[in-house]
Chains A and B, each alone.
Chain A
């Protein structure tokens, strides 16, 4: 039986841990004091780099590497803490804010010290009123105790934290949308480059970091890099010669919901398999696992064939999905995948910021197609199209064979791919919201195509038995979502 490994959440349930005095009893702010006493700022940055810490907000980008892009000679430099947590299926940051806000403040202090930052903005999801209240109270206490403000604890550091509530838009979780919103504008993501590390808040270098990422910092500093890297697998990236280490270190706050007996946030070492996670969460509610969303609603879905996939950054990327925000949604045999996709597409159609053409008008179109199929309005017409798969050369591409497909399913796939192409992994949109739309749309349709076909054929939603509903991995067009179509392959 897999054990929880509580680090960030270790003291979450200690009564009054949200107050300075109780937090202090549990090593509170001692890691920050240690950082200042024992290390130079650059040492901290190096420790973070060496720890292999990857961003927990969704992109899984190496935190140390991100810090290394920040120009040191341009001041002021800002820290933005992303507490907008709005990815469906994700709810781990809110407990930190509500129950242990001093931990976040300590993480922020360490980051500020390492990066020479004096001003931090915590952008909090508007609905988190309790979380904001608790954090504001903790910040107030920290000011009173001299851990924030001018000349922090006599070190000469000046560090201020401001909290800023969002107004209910999912897209303000995207780092540049967040920055625009913070600056008082419409929450519309910016074109990149320049990345926030170079030009962020008020056009100054900005480190944007998720709550969970920042909460890891006290433990990396407190317990050391070696202790930290022992948690979670480190793979070898054999694309490089010699292979480079590919760390998936530390723990992850997995938010497990859906058809499990004990849904909730579980802090576990990275690298456990999907089935193990379901066990941790009290086991499946129902007979059979039909599907698992591994990383928030934008992640491509996993089928029951993929339950031994390890839920870490690298393994899920290799499985053509992603760990994303760690929001895991388990679905049992009673769930209809067409219905699930409709639910998710309604969300995305509502949340597209509307800035760029493909996403603005493509996302509601995808929703409408799924809605029509779910309502029984799918057209029975079929078309013949080239079939993709492993070609004679052993590479992925056009197999030269053809397949019959319902016109509406072809349309669904094509419209989604026109927003952001999951096969070529190219997108014509300003931000990756586009791929967050087409990833579920295409993966649900390809992996559970029989259920979509049944809905069209029968003119209503039909929930098939798991084995029938799922396309087996041998039909690898559904699982393999990254190839270069023929016409693009030649230079």
Chain B
């Protein structure tokens, strides 16, 4: 730990921390563009200048220098080299010299900038706008002609508005260091520097920015140069509500922020988690939310009438089900939980099966294994379910419960009279064996969010909710239990999955009365081994890791 005098504050800073981070920890902004904590530090934007005072050997006067805050790190000084008798480091981020240097750099940054904020997607969350406002000049001295480099289509989701680029090279470094795909580079030189992908002499792209991490360059671009086509002109960022959540695209469990309005989800952004996803998410997770806003969402319960599925109301759907259930032997009923559903959904489901239906035969359903994608600093897992680990533990948590998966499950299903299948998540086609097994069932209840092959076979379909429409927890492949949060209301009359199950339980005389997901989490904490600390309160935004 070094004792640092930062402006007029006296702070303790861990050795090796750079000035930008040290200041940030104490609420002081050091403006910066090229520096990103997840990337190497080229110190090329010169925006982060601070004034440092060091004591050169044998000199009384401290040496005052403008230094780049991103590459200047704090070190504990030897006892004879302390400043003012005690400080290891003195740094000012607010001296006249620093302020002038910032103004000057900002002036240069705006020289060729088109000042097209009114039509720029980044406006409102743009470092160039914000820093200019807080640290810049109020007018330009530039009278000459501006460079107008072309707008470029870099790949499936990324557009480059070259005129707005500040050449911080974050995007290039990302593609080199994190994704390792290296599609981006600089062409030309000096003031004609442009970001580009490899092209032939005629200008046809030889390689596109088309990797599963590509979307991150849009996030890290400090200005409106790299823009996501998915979000282009959809909304001003300040109109969006934000909620901290977790991606349900695979078992990594990347931390995300869901940005939404009342009418739906608008975009997904990564949220830092040191042990899980650092600063990044993949494009499957980023762009995979569209099913939530889809027209194919189930909005009303459906009931099979004369071999056709027809909309009905909840009371009717549930009474048809309870009638069937109460007439059937426990051994002939299979309840199948979901690796796409939350721990809370699965807990209520297993409680319903175990306590109310008194069956110990449960199943676990989820998306089939997909492809794993490994990058130098990121892995997308093959298990495309967010909660396989949690669902498996929780479904099997009550005495005597057996959780069947794969072939064993489908064998059991084909001999069952009633199957209550909870699915969820994006569309999940059925394999032939699964389809055959489900076709054999006398009475099939499917609880899902989209019309699917499974709902086509069902006798009753119950509309459930997606990860943005409910609260709950999920457990990733490395044992992190994390929270997802409700952002928007489910469409039509769709309901939170555990509520549907609880309603069924009640109608069959079960004693279950959870009022919100947090209560279920408390029950989980009490009854499921390993989850003792996993209450919503404890989990918070950072998640907790289950003991190994």
Q: Is A350 among interface residues, defined by CB-CB distance under 8 A?
A: yes
List, in ascending order, chain B residues with CB within 8 A of A362's CB: 108
List, in ascending order, chain A residues with CB within 8 A of B17's CB: none
Q: Quick one: which of B184-240 are within 8 Å of A by CB?
A: 186, 188-193
Among B68, B109, B141, contact of A361 (Cβ-Cβ < 8 Å): B109
List, in ascending order, chain A residues with CB within 8 A of B112's CB: 361
Interface centre among A354, A360, A429 (most CB of B within 10 A): A360
Interface contact A428-B66, CB-CB below 8 Å: yes
Among B71, B108, B141, B192, contact of A357 (Cβ-Cβ < 8 Å): B108
List, in ascending order, chain B residues with CB within 8 A of A418's CB: 104, 107-108
Q: What is the chain A residue whose CB lies nearest that of B185?
A: A186
Q: Quick one: which of A359-394 are within 8 Å of B by CB?
A: 360-365, 368-369, 372
Interface contact B42-A491, CB-CB below 8 Å: no
Interface contact A349-B189, CB-CB below 8 Å: no
Q: What is the chain A residue whose CB lies nearest that of B142?
A: A365
Q: Is A355 among interface residues, defined by CB-CB distance under 8 A?
A: yes
A186 to B44: give the CA distance in the assembly, Å. 14
Q: What is the chain A residue whose CB lies nearest that of B95?
A: A488
Q: Is B49 among interface residues, defined by CB-CB distance under 8 A?
A: yes
A351 to B189: give the CA distance in the assembly, Å. 8
Q: What is the chain A residue whose CB lies nearest that of B47?
A: A357
List, in ascending order, chain A residues with CB within 8 A of B64's CB: 491
Interface contact A352-B71, CB-CB below 8 Å: no
A353-B189 contact given A191-B43, A429-B46, CB 8 Å threshold: yes
Interface contact B66-A357, CB-CB below 8 Å: no
Interface contact B191-A352, CB-CB below 8 Å: yes
Q: Is B262 among interface residues, defined by CB-CB distance under 8 A?
A: no
Q: Quick one: which of A32-81 are within 8 Å of B by CB?
A: none
Among B45, B66, B143, B145, contact of A356 (Cβ-Cβ < 8 Å): B45
Q: Measured between C-beta atoms, what is the minimum distance from B131 to chain A in Å?
A: 12
A91 to B139: give the CA distance in the assembly, Å. 44
A414 to B141: give the CA distance in the assembly, Å. 11
Q: Measured between C-beta atoms, what is the minimum distance from A133 to chain B in Å?
A: 27
Interface contact B166-A357, CB-CB below 8 Å: yes
Interface contact B190-A353, CB-CB below 8 Å: yes
Q: What is the chain B residue whose CB lies nearest that of A190?
A: B42
List, in ascending order, chain A residues with CB within 8 A of B190's CB: 349-354, 360, 363-364
Q: Measured between C-beta atoms, what is the minimum distance from B2 to chain A in Å?
A: 19
Q: Is A287 among interface residues, defined by CB-CB distance under 8 A?
A: no
A428-B46 contact given A361-B109, A418-B104, A488-B97, CB 8 Å threshold: yes
A358 to B47: give the CA distance in the assembly, Å. 10
Among A349, A357, A415, contact of B105 (Cβ-Cβ < 8 Å): A357
List, in ascending order, chain B residues with CB within 8 A of A350's CB: 190
Interface contact B191-A361, CB-CB below 8 Å: yes
Q: Measured between C-beta atoms, what is the minimum distance from B40 to chain A in Å?
A: 11
Q: What is the chain A residue whose CB lies nearest that of B141?
A: A411
Q: Is B496 among interface residues, defined by CB-CB distance under 8 A?
A: no
A430-B191 contact given A418-B107, A488-B96, A491-B64, CB 8 Å threshold: no
Q: Quick one: which of B117-136 are within 8 Å of A by CB?
A: none
Q: Quick one: which of B87-107 are within 8 Å of A by CB?
A: 96-97, 101, 104-105, 107
A356-B44 contact given A365-B142, A428-B104, A491-B64, CB 8 Å threshold: yes
A306 to B49: give the CA distance in the assembly, Å. 37
Q: What is the chain A residue whose CB lies nearest that of B51?
A: A488
Q: Is B175 among interface residues, defined by CB-CB distance under 8 A?
A: no
Contact with B along A124-156 (1 / 0, CB 8 A): 000000000000000000000000000000000
Q: Quick one: which of B44-58 are within 8 Å of A by CB?
A: 44-47, 49
Q: Is B263 among interface residues, defined by CB-CB distance under 8 A?
A: no
Interface contact A352-B144, CB-CB below 8 Å: no
Interface contact A369-B144, CB-CB below 8 Å: yes
Q: Is A317 among interface residues, defined by CB-CB distance under 8 A?
A: no
A357 to B113: give the CA distance in the assembly, Å. 13
Interface contact A356-B46, CB-CB below 8 Å: yes
Among B42, B65, B108, B167, contact of A191 (Cβ-Cβ < 8 Å): B42
A186 to B186: give the CA distance in the assembly, Å. 9
Q: Is B111 among interface residues, defined by CB-CB distance under 8 A?
A: yes
Interface centre among A169, A186, A355, A411 (most CB of B within 10 A): A355
Q: What is the chain A residue whose CB lies nearest that of B100?
A: A487
Q: Is A402 among interface residues, defined by CB-CB distance under 8 A?
A: no
List, in ascending order, chain B residues with CB within 8 A of A429's CB: 46
List, in ascending order, chain B residues with CB within 8 A of A491's CB: 62, 64
Interface contact B189-A352, CB-CB below 8 Å: yes
Interface centre among B65, B66, B108, B141 (most CB of A within 10 A): B108
A132 to B470: give the CA distance in the assembly, Å. 71
Interface contact B107-A354, CB-CB below 8 Å: no
A355 to B46: give the CA distance in the assembly, Å. 10
Interface contact B143-A372, CB-CB below 8 Å: yes
Interface contact B42-A358, CB-CB below 8 Å: no
Contact with B along A328-355 (1 / 0, CB 8 A): 0000000000000000000001111111
A169-B44 contact given A357-B109, A362-B108, A428-B104, CB 8 Å threshold: no
Interface contact A363-B96, CB-CB below 8 Å: no
Q: Is A244 among interface residues, defined by CB-CB distance under 8 A?
A: no
Q: Is A223 among interface residues, defined by CB-CB distance under 8 A?
A: no
A430-B44 contact given A349-B191, A352-B190, A360-B167, CB 8 Å threshold: yes
Q: What is the chain A residue whose CB lies nearest that of B168?
A: A357
A464 to B188: give the CA distance in the assembly, Å. 39
List, in ascending order, chain B residues with CB within 8 A of A430's CB: 43-44
Contact with A along B133-172 (1 / 0, CB 8 A): 0000000011111000000000000000000001100000
Interface contact A428-B105, CB-CB below 8 Å: yes
A363 to B141: give the CA distance in the assembly, Å. 15
A365 to B112: give the CA distance in the assembly, Å. 10
Q: Measured between C-beta atoms, what is the minimum distance from B112 to chain A in Å?
A: 6
Q: What is the chain B residue whose CB lies nearest that of A368?
A: B144
List, in ascending order, chain A residues with CB within 8 A of B143's CB: 372
Contact with B along A388-422 (1 / 0, CB 8 A): 00000000000000000000000100010010000
Q: Measured between C-beta atoms, what is the minimum distance from B49 to chain A in Å?
A: 6
Among A354, A361, A488, contact of B108 (Cβ-Cβ < 8 Å): A361
Q: Measured between C-beta atoms, what is the minimum distance from A427 to chain B in Å?
A: 9
List, in ascending order, chain A residues with CB within 8 A of B111's CB: 361, 365
Q: What is the chain B residue whose CB lies nearest that of A427?
A: B66
Contact with A along B306-333 (1 / 0, CB 8 A): 0000000000000000000000000000
List, in ascending order, chain A residues with CB within 8 A of B44's CB: 355-357, 430
A78 to B272: give the CA distance in the assembly, Å. 42
Interface contact B97-A372, CB-CB below 8 Å: no
Interface contact B144-A365, CB-CB below 8 Å: yes
Q: Measured between C-beta atoms, what is the minimum distance from B542 to chain A in Å?
A: 34
Interface contact B96-A487, CB-CB below 8 Å: yes
Q: Measured between C-beta atoms, what is the minimum distance from B128 to chain A in Å?
A: 12
Interface contact A191-B71, CB-CB below 8 Å: yes
Interface contact B96-A358, CB-CB below 8 Å: no
Among B62, B65, B105, B188, contact of A358 (Cβ-Cβ < 8 Å): B105
Q: Measured between C-beta atoms, what is the minimum distance from A275 to chain B in Å?
A: 38
A289 to B111: give the CA distance in the assembly, Å. 38
Q: What is the chain A residue whose CB lies nearest that of B104?
A: A418
Residues of A within 8 A of B (CB): 169, 186, 191, 349-358, 360-365, 368-369, 372, 411, 415, 418, 426, 428-430, 487-488, 491
Contacts beyond the supplied A352-B190, A355-B44, A365-B111: 14 A-B pairs with Cβ under 8 Å: A352-B191, A353-B190, A354-B186, A355-B42, A356-B45, A357-B108, A357-B166, A360-B190, A360-B191, A362-B108, A364-B190, A426-B65, A428-B101, A488-B96
A to B CB contacts below 8 Å, 11 in the list:
A349-B190, A354-B186, A354-B189, A356-B44, A357-B44, A361-B111, A361-B112, A363-B191, A372-B144, A418-B104, A418-B108
Nearest 10 CB-CB pairings of A with B? A368-B144, A352-B190, A418-B104, A354-B190, A354-B193, A361-B108, A364-B191, A361-B111, A487-B96, A428-B46
